[in-house]
């Protein structure tokens, strides 16, 4: 069983969703630039870095938004 998400975790979950959504159009623009200008253009690898940033931003924000498990009581014996 897990604790409910507090306000900071809810904000982090919303940011992870926003970053995941922003990954899709930036990847589409990267593919379009790759097809039209090639990898030699400076915009193409830069946009790939933007895609990686949004993807890792989504992963890290989601990891921060996961609620922590409820810890057992300290007074209870370990076997019970």
State yes or no: pLDDT of 63 exceeds 70. yes
Residue 15 maps to a domain:
yes
Element (H, E) at 60: helix 43-65
Question: CB-hemisphere CA count at 13 Å for 50?
Answer: 17
In a domain, 22, yes or no: yes
Q: Is residue 17 in some structural domain?
A: yes
Buried b (16+ CB within 10 A) or exposed e, 46-69: ebbebbeebbebbeebbeebeeee
Could you list the residue range(s) of the whole structural domain that residue 29 is in? 7-65
Domain tally, the chain: 1
Can you give the length of the chain in residues?
80
Residue 20 lies in a domain: yes
In a domain, 18, yes or no: yes
> In angstroms, rounded to a whole number, what is the distance separating the alpha carbons of residues 62 and 80?
33
pLDDT in tens, 6-56: 899 899 999 999 999 999 999 999 999 999 999 999 999 999 999 999 999
Residue 2 inside a domain? The answer is no
Q: Which residue has the higher pLDDT, 63 or 3?
A: 63
Evaluate whether 78 touches 9 at the Cβ level (below 8 Å): no
- For the whole model, what pTM was predicted? 0.80
With respect to residue 48, please indicate whether it lies within any of the assigned structural domains: yes
Domain-located, residue 60: yes
pLDDT for the residue numbered 80: 58
């Amino acid at each position: 069983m897990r604790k409910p998400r507090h306000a900071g975790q809810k904000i982090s979950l919303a940011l992870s969703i926003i970053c995941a959504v922003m990954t899709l159009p930036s990847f589409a623009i990267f593919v379009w630039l790759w097809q039209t200008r090639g990898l030699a253009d400076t915009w193409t690898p830069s946009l790939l870095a933007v895609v990686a940033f949004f993807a890792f931003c989504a992963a890290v924000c989601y990891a921060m938004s996961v609620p922590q498990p409820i810890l057992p009581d300290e007074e209870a014996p370990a076997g019970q």
